Structure 1
Amino acid sequence: MTTFRSKVRETDTAHDAGSPCLLFVDDDRDIQVAARLLFQRRRIKILSAYDAAEALTLLASHPVDLVLLDLNYTKGARTGAEGLALLKDMLVLRRDLPVLVVTGHSGVSIAVEAMRTGATDFVMKPWNNDRLVSLVTSVLEKCGRNNGFDVEPVLITASDAIKQIVSEADRIAPTRACVLISGPSGVGKMLLARRIQDLSSEASAAQSFSAEDCGDLPQEGGVWICREIEALSPTLQRRLTDRLDGSAPPRLIALSSLDFAQR
């Protein structure tokens, strides 16, 4: 396995500082993952909160442009009361904060009440992806935060260190070698992985997944890009080893924020 360790300055990282930031409040991890995949493809940063305390902490500590709030964000909730209470707390912190509420069990009436409380609009669950994206895009445009939707992040090779890393990545890209890319968050590990995929001989698109949210490995082969590989459970580690040792193994591009050279 080829290993890259990122030794880059701030100017060598991916440009995502201008991307809009969406805070999504819902306790369902599967729905959180689906939303993350939906919006990350559109260059919208997603912050995930699973309860009220986490949501308020993230709101107070991050430049959130828009909140997507499930009115029944904990398991078993049906009335929407907890969502309304959190909505009020959020608007105390940020009076002008755009909030889209998500409702399913509670119906339209509670969504209307949320809008009277200060919500911008509502979405019914299960949502339609096109409708949700259109609504989020519209709200962000009104806030002047639509920059980044159609802009591909770029890997800036300003230093000799990153030039050397990119050159080595280009060299091994056409091979079937598995790759480990390590470095701090934000240095462009995913961009480097995508570059390797783009220059590889694989015809199909890479399958990207996070070890932290992974319940099982992809069923198909091809190229796998696994983020935070160190978080993969022991069970999935064994399955991954079996797949890599199999007759038609995937090409694994593993990403990690750990510095394995120091371990």
Structure 2
Amino acid sequence: MIEANILVIDDDDDILLSARLFLKQHFKQVITCKSPKEINVLLSTNEIDIILLDMNYQKGASDGREGLYWLEHILSIDKDYIVILMTAYGNVELAVQAIKKGATDFILKPWENEKLFATLSAASKLRQSNRKVKKLEKIHSSMQKDMARSFEHVIGNADPIKKLQHTLIKVAPTDANVLILGENGTGKQVFAYELHKHSLRKQGTFMHVDLGSLNENLFESELFGYAKGAFTDAKEDKPGRFELAEGGTIFLDEIGNLSMALQSKLLSVIQNRTVTRLGESKERKINVRLITATNMPLNEMVGKGTFRQDLLFRINTVELLLPPLSHRGDDILLLAEHFLHSFSTKYHKNITQFEAKAAQALLNYQWPGNVRELQHVIERAVIMSDGLQIGMDDLQLSPQRFGGSATTIQSDMALEDMEKMMVQKAIEKHQGNISRASAELGLTRAALYRRIEKFNL
């Protein structure tokens, strides 16, 4: 039994009876009526999937004009209705005209039951497919709106941020490939979305792909798509992320994590502006704007032979270097107040400001996790606070990560010296275990290695 509701419209009682008797054996519901004038009422009171519509109703008529009229009427109500026209007068020109006006198929009377069933079965699959596409489009549209709401704007008055904003305004309207560099948590994804939002592609998709979390074996199928039968679980054709981003922007995050083999495949796509799905030989043209990001030193990696120089040339037509939060001065409080307002609203609290000591603590803290860490700290503080202000106890900041301490750090010590001391202490504490030391410092392993090299530790 096929889960589809069929509406049959014909002025011949015998046709309606034979259609109902045959089709009710195979379809969920079959509704019949003699006059197309009942269409409005029937469509408004029933969930109809397929309409089997006769083309002639007046006695002696055979030109099909009535059928074409009612076809247009049905599609004006909802262009997604599946309409199959039927007539006793075979006419190729009429069939072509009907298809051009939006009919899904055309069948002659008297029909063969097997052919009628095959036609309606195919139409039912098309209806289901169209519904899935429409649902996905709604979900996608909703996700894009939610994404636009959830992304924070680029907030800040520090000189480095102002320069980046100035560059962004110039670059966004172009299709230039942009490489965004910066430590974890500095806001690379926010800047990528900001580029998309101010581009000529802003109505298109913003497709974020985290290459760092993408299994190497899934790289091609996820980014380039696959054909049915390409591998064991490939039960249907599936477009990749590049195709899904058509007309929009694709943001490849953590591009420094790609192996040399995958870098080569990505380079080919960027150069040729085409993708080939797994299991196919056909090249498909793509029209996307490319933005990439990483916290890794790509120029150093090129020198060591772990990142392709030609790929670096392709992705960094324009390069944006995001500063760590500790270099942004009063932006820390500006961002903290923004997050405070946002999370107070989210958690239905009336917290309006920071106590003076808490505000000073935010400024003195080193923020190894950058803006992302600040966001998490403020969210946790809002959740835990019982008052109308955020105090020191609410922040729960780690004492080891302040820029000054009466027992261990001189007040006039340079920021770089303090950073070196903190790195050295963490490494000593964990007896050279980089994973544990980087976790304590709130850094990635790669970021810690860079500091070890920088300080000759």
TM-score bucket (shorter structure) = 0.3 to 0.5
- What's the TM-score, normalizing by structure 1? 0.46
Select the structure of larger CA radius of gyration. Answer: 2
- Specify which structure has the bigger relative contact order, considering alpha-carbon pairs within 8 angstroms and separated by 6 or more residues: 1
